[in-house]
Amino acid sequence: MFERISMTSCYYDWLPEFGNDKVIIAVGEYNLSEKFWLQFFESVKELKSYRDMYSKDYQNSGIRLFICKGLKYNSTELKSIINKYGM
């Protein structure tokens, strides 16, 4: 079964309960690099990036996909961090 997490708006309110042994596919804005995700995971590998070549802000438009392993927090701790920083 797949679990979903969103760090936008207040969707983190429905964050499911899970331990730190999950493998997570992170989808983030183009400006979020591996360095950002390494705050939360032991291992991060970029899978693919997509840019919107028609955007006025080409440098920052698009998304990146990452495989993330070794979550440094459980779901309760992660929810608290997301809420604190308003991600």
Residue in this structure with the two tokens 């493998």, named with its chain if needed: 23
What is the spatial distance between Cα 75 and Cα 87, in angstroms, rounded to a whole number?
Answer: 15
pTM above 0.75, yes or no: no
Answer yes or no: is pLDDT of 15 > 90. no
**Phi, psi angles (nearest 5°) of residue 13:** -60, -30
pLDDT above 70: percentage of residues in the chain: 72
Q: What letter does residue 12 receive in the DSSP assignment?
A: G
What is the spatial distance between Cα 47 and Cα 45, in angstroms, rounded to a whole number?
Answer: 6
Contact 5, 14 (CB under 8 A): no
